Amino acid sequence: MLDTSGTLNRTEERPVTVYALLPAFIITAVFVGVITILGELYIVDGVKTIKGWLADTHGHHWVGKGIWTMIIFAAVSFMGYLSLKLRSKEAPTKLIYWAGHTAILVSVAITIFFIYEYIHLH
């Protein structure tokens, strides 16, 4: 928050949503990376079972992945919000670093996987 002089007052308590949303982002990002890679790898009798299940259940595997991503994000955010009393009042710097590193690592993992798939199949 800004104080009367217009500068950021860092001693004020952080918004509670930061503590709930950052872990939800981290867990959801890992979920998306894992389900994306497993959806391409997990094949039984020539059928991609995870992608098939998502498509059969939700109309398309992208839609299914999006629905499950929103469900997981909402559930973890809600659990994080309810558990705020157990958290310290420290700045969420570690969570911000974890969120950034998770986003980068998941993006790199998916990119490397699809490059490998492309090279391997062609």
> For 26-67, what is each residue's pLDDT tens digit?
999 999 999 999 888 877 677 778 888 898 999 999 999 999
Q: How far apart are the C-alpha atoms of 104 and 122, rounded to whole Å?
A: 27
Range of the domain at 81: 16-97
Check pLDDT > 70 for residue 105.
Answer: yes
Whether residue 115 is contained in a domain is answered as no
CA-nearest of 8, 1, 18, 27 to 90 is 18
Per-residue pLDDT at 82: 82
Q: How far apart are the C-alpha atoms of 99 and 25, rounded to whole Å?
A: 7
Q: What is the pTM of this model?
A: 0.75
Q: How far apart are the C-alpha atoms of 95 and 80, rounded to whole Å?
A: 13
Whether residue 5 is contained in a domain is answered as no
Per-residue pLDDT at 11: 45
Report the chain's mean pLDDT, rounded to a whole number: 82
Whether residue 106 is contained in a domain is answered as no
Position of tokens 């490059």? 115
Whether residue 11 is contained in a domain is answered as no
Q: Into how many domains does the chain fold?
A: 1
Contact 80, 99 (CB under 8 A): no
43 bridge partner residues: 48
